[in-house]
Amino acid sequence: MPADRFSTATRLRALGSQAAERVYRAQSRRMRTPPGSRLTGRAAVLALVLCSLVVVLAYPTRQYVTQRSQIADQRQQAQEAREEVKRLREERARWHDPAYVEQQARLHLHYVRPGETGYVRPDGSADDTRDGDEGPADRPWYQNLWRSIDLSDSDG
């Protein structure tokens, strides 16, 4: 009796069934995953690394852009402050001029020189315009209404 327990036919049958199972498994794998769309482990790791880089860099990038805009705003405010300081220095220099001081005193405080006669209207202004000289835009709407009614009555 040979050392082998199985006959050659039994062995061939077993090998044939194993081969058939391998072919069946290979075909079923091909049918389950369409060709060219297999996601390999390396591709998955690469996608994970790229996504994590985007997430990690999003916040610092946003902060950078925000800080750049804040820096631009601060520079604009500093420029405006420099212009305001320049304007105030010029105004301070004008106040050292006696003619400008006199002009401002006449305009705002209604000062007059000795020998001059100053007139102040009841509304507190010292303008040369009179009440009769006001245009329709300077009067309240109800005065314009009554004036137009009076004019239409006097024409008829």
- Pick 128 or 117 by higher pLDDT: 117
111 CB-near residues (< 8 Å, 6+ apart): 102, 105, 118
* pLDDT, tens digit (0-9, with 9 covering 90-100), for 39-80: 788 888 999 999 999 999 999 999 999 999 999 999 999 999
| pLDDT of amino acid 73 | 96
**In whole angstroms, what is the distance from residue 75 CA to residue 32 CA?**
63
Hey, what are 126's tokens? 């010292």
Q: What angle do CA 69, 72, 74 make, to 5 degrees?
A: 110
| pLDDT of amino acid 1 | 45
- Pick 37 or 104 by higher pLDDT: 104
Whether residue 127 is predicted with pLDDT greater than 70 in this model: the reply is no
- Pick 109 or 94 by higher pLDDT: 94
DSSP letter, residue 155: H
| pLDDT of amino acid 88 | 97
Q: H or E element: which one contains 107?
A: helix 98-109
